[in-house]
Chain A
């Protein structure tokens, strides 16, 4: 952790890679989140900012207290020197100052500032000295300040006369002056100006403090040439024109002679240090990682070329990326670029980190720098990635085509181009593009995985599984095809196989978050919710930058019917991943379930406006319209989705469900597959078919159908839909006790509705009231009419019923259908 501390701003800003938080003066135990972009604003107008590297919160707080005290002391001195100030306030300032300047460090700081420029009205000092009461600290300080005013004026005037050319520009000159003030150089030099020996030492200290400034020898030489007392040792006074080259050499030279070390020894040493760092990455012990990296880089900078230190940092930045800590990735990459600023690769790494953090503007700038320093193809691919990230797919495609023309041997460009087609849901073209890339680059795993992913998107799950299995065989050490294969197994409904595949990958690659999330998802799918939640929580702790883990956790809470906690979890994820559409869309889904359709619709519309190709937001929006019963709009939305992605089975099934609600059973059946269900989508279609039986009053067939589904479906969330549908069929047959048995373990709102119905008919009002009470806490808007009608019908509320049996049945079927598909 680094920090910026300013007493004038009354703030300490803690930075950890791309994250920032702040601690305010007087509120030292309260750390507040803030955007790094605010840093320049928060420190606007200040000139006392101090940067602390690799520090701790305690050290920062101590520094802030000190900086605050320094700032107060300066203000109090100014009040004391202000002849227009009322006497009581000046007397109070003396009281405070006497207390503050007991700290010798603070007194030194005060002198450092007060000696940097003459007072506009030195006579004010006489009065202030009179007010300073007893002799000692304050009185002596003010007396010395008065006595040195002429010298201070000389030093200040000589500084002002230094030409700007010495510094480059006025900003650099001011920067230099601030360093002189901060190090107390004016005070030391003025105080030593009667003693040649002390003056020589003060000059030496200045050189030491300013050695990182280019040209510091010339500057100090020119500034002090007329100010030094007679008989100052000549070795200190270097001629201004002959020392710059010497200065550079001197700056780069280690302060102490270093032992000789062979290149091989150095290489082995670096390798060992890196090997020690990597396990800490995997454990998520980033504090330790930072400590080790500091040691490694320090030793590399002392013993070797700067480029090696930069390379190590870039390499470690990639490790940070692997564990999804993009903030640390950025921190390390930026450090590499600072050490080796004319290297395209380091700028490319900075760009990559910015991209991962969704800061596209900064990424674009760094990609440009990478191109400038020779990494043109990498930069092009990066620029195209930014366009993709912004949803500007047509422009991205054009850029990829142009870039491929210029750099035909760059596989990343070919992969990127194929992926754009996939993101545009032009799946056939994506498949073709990946296939041709596989042909051109047979030794690359990425295009093979891309091809398999497209096959999965197309619903060609057997082929996708084969493609991933083959890639696993060819590239055994690669995590991506292994996770891809497990994902396909899950989609196929082979949850046991998926569980085994994810578990094996997670065991073999403990640093991989994807396999752990996959494992947790399968546990959730199989209804092992507590285990899934535990695994997601552990994954979040180990990989705080993996959005999928946060979403998985929230979705598990949703399945546990803990909707408020799920929403809070998504809110937390959204602050961490504000540009992650999946987080936004899934959060909107929860808002929908919490009975906040307007907020959900607003969220979907915002995403669609920003990312018109975002099929998940459009799908969520269509689903919301369907659930709200806005049928024509929902149909239109699904038609659009089907047109864009005809292989999306879920869109066809959702449309079929709407048609069933409208009574158009034949048309609906045409859209449903007739094969035995395997995948999640197949099971949804199977559910819709059952609802057609139910709505057609084929009750016996419907009961058998739903019982088969309930007993065979491997997916826990979708199992609930069968549970509800079976309960509706039993209610329709008048089998109320059986209906309650079907719903015995169910707690979600639709099940509670059906329980009111069943318990109401069984005259078990207490149980019906209990369900009603739950629904009064959380009830999706679409269920409210049904809830209110059943409450009235079974006299759970003082209001007359408004509808007959058929309305209730139709409404139950409608809601069950539209919620499921």
Chain B
């Protein structure tokens, strides 16, 4: 965020540019196969996110989330039924090269239709608006993984695409000092820090 020329790189671009070291071949291998299936020949350009109604991210991905500006991504974004790895490797047993079954992916402007197709059975007369965020993005528990609609963004994300950063107020004094510094830097580039 502090560098005007720095883009938010994808996993593949980072591996490609060797700015990070893959930890375990088997974990990476599975991911590569799934991404190659969903995004043949352009997986290295994909960035992942999740749909959220309350600007909170997926708890297990980390306490803080970047909320993106819609106008910066809507032309290059699609949404997908769920965590694509779970979808391909465990639920549908898709092996690299197989086609992805239709009906689980939508363009950004039709994300509501995908959400309805996926979640309609979780909504009934007794469902209150307060329940909607938890239905769209259900947090993980000790035994259940998070369930959400995965967002696929093509291409890198520049800091100007970030609307704000959300997350908890840190408990630790040191973290509060770090966030204080971060808040100032974010303000300089027009990004709000929304802590609660």
Q: Which of A585-612 contact B (CB under 8 A)?
A: 596, 598-599, 602, 609-610
Q: Which of A341-393 contact B (CB under 8 A)?
A: 358-362, 364-365, 386, 389-391
- In the complex, are the beta carbons of A49 and B23 less than 8 A apart? yes
- In the complex, are the beta carbons of A38 and B85 less than 8 A apart? yes
Contact with A386, one of B62, B88, B95, B175 (Cβ below 8 angstroms)? B95
Q: Which of A1-59 contact B (CB under 8 A)?
A: 4, 9-11, 21-22, 24-26, 30-47, 49, 51
Contact with A178, one of B21, B31, B91 (Cβ below 8 angstroms)? B21
Q: How many B residues, CB 8 Å from partner?
A: 56
The chain B residue with its CB closest to the CB of A361 is B33
**B22: Cβ under 8 A from any A Cβ:** yes
Q: Which of B161-178 contact A (CB under 8 A)?
A: 170-175, 177-178
Instruction: Report how far A79 CA is from B185 CA in the complex, Å.
Output: 11
**A85: Cβ under 8 A from any B Cβ:** yes
Closest approach, in angstroms, between the C-beta of A9 and any C-beta of chain B? Answer: 7
Instruction: Report how far A44 CA is from B26 CA in the complex, Å.
Output: 16
- Say yes or no: A89-B181 contact (C-beta < 8 A), given A34-B145, A40-B28: yes
Q: A interface, by DSSP: helix, strand, loop or mixed?
A: helix
- Say yes or no: A76-B21 contact (C-beta < 8 A), given A35-B86, A44-B14: no
The chain B residue with its CB closest to the CB of A359 is B89
- Say yes or no: A40-B93 contact (C-beta < 8 A), given A26-B172, A33-B145: no
**A170: Cβ under 8 A from any B Cβ:** yes
Chain B residues whose CB sits within 8 angstroms of the CB of A36 once the complex forms: 27, 30
**A334: Cβ under 8 A from any B Cβ:** yes
The chain A residue with its CB closest to the CB of B18 is A171
Total cross-chain contacts (CB, 8 A):
177
**A636: Cβ under 8 A from any B Cβ:** no
Contact with A579, one of B11, B93, B173 (Cβ below 8 angstroms)? B93
- In the complex, are the beta carbons of A96 and B177 less than 8 A apart? yes
- In the complex, are the beta carbons of A92 and B180 less than 8 A apart? yes
Instruction: Report how far A436 CA is from B8 CA in the complex, Å.
Output: 61
- In the complex, are the beta carbons of B178 and A578 less than 8 A apart? no
- Say yes or no: A79-B21 contact (C-beta < 8 A), given A33-B140, A37-B85, A359-B90: no
- In the complex, are the beta carbons of B11 and A41 less than 8 A apart? yes
Contact with A360, one of B83, B93, B178 (Cβ below 8 angstroms)? B93
- In the complex, are the beta carbons of A93 and B177 less than 8 A apart? yes
Instruction: Report how far A603 CA is from B146 CA in the complex, Å.
Output: 20
**A86: Cβ under 8 A from any B Cβ:** yes
Chain A residues whose CB sits within 8 angstroms of the CB of B31 once the complex forms: 37, 40-41
- Say yes or no: A579-B91 contact (C-beta < 8 A), given A96-B173, A361-B34, A365-B29: yes
- Say yes or no: A4-B145 contact (C-beta < 8 A), given A10-B62, A37-B31: no
- In the complex, are the beta carbons of B30 and A37 less than 8 A apart? yes
Instruction: Report how far A610 CA is from B94 CA in the complex, Å.
Output: 9
Chain A residues whose CB sits within 8 angstroms of the CB of B30 once the complex forms: 36-37, 359, 361-362
The chain B residue with its CB closest to the CB of A47 is B20
**A75: Cβ under 8 A from any B Cβ:** yes
Closest approach, in angstroms, between the C-beta of A348 and any C-beta of chain B? Answer: 15
**A72: Cβ under 8 A from any B Cβ:** yes
Closest approach, in angstroms, between the C-beta of A565 and any C-beta of chain B? Answer: 16
Q: Which of B85-133 contact A (CB under 8 A)?
A: 85-86, 88-96, 98, 101, 120-121
**Chain A residues in the interface with B (C-beta under 8 A):** 4, 9-11, 21-22, 24-26, 30-47, 49, 51, 69, 72-73, 75-76, 79, 82, 85-86, 89, 92-93, 95-96, 99-100, 170-171, 174-175, 178, 334, 358-362, 364-365, 386, 389-391, 572, 575, 578-579, 596, 598-599, 602, 609-610
- Given A170-B18, A390-B95: 20 more A-B contacts, CB < 8 Å: A24-B62, A33-B142, A40-B11, A44-B11, A72-B175, A76-B177, A89-B181, A92-B177, A92-B180, A96-B173, A174-B18, A174-B21, A358-B89, A359-B89, A360-B89, A361-B88, A386-B95, A390-B93, A599-B121, A610-B93
Q: List 26 A-B contacts (CB under 8 A).
A: A10-B63, A24-B59, A32-B59, A32-B142, A33-B141, A39-B24, A40-B31, A41-B11, A41-B31, A41-B48, A42-B60, A42-B62, A44-B20, A51-B23, A96-B173, A100-B174, A334-B26, A358-B90, A361-B30, A361-B88, A361-B95, A362-B26, A365-B29, A386-B95, A575-B143, A579-B90
7 smallest A-B Cβ distances: which pairs?
Answer: A37-B85, A599-B121, A96-B174, A361-B33, A578-B90, A72-B174, A32-B140
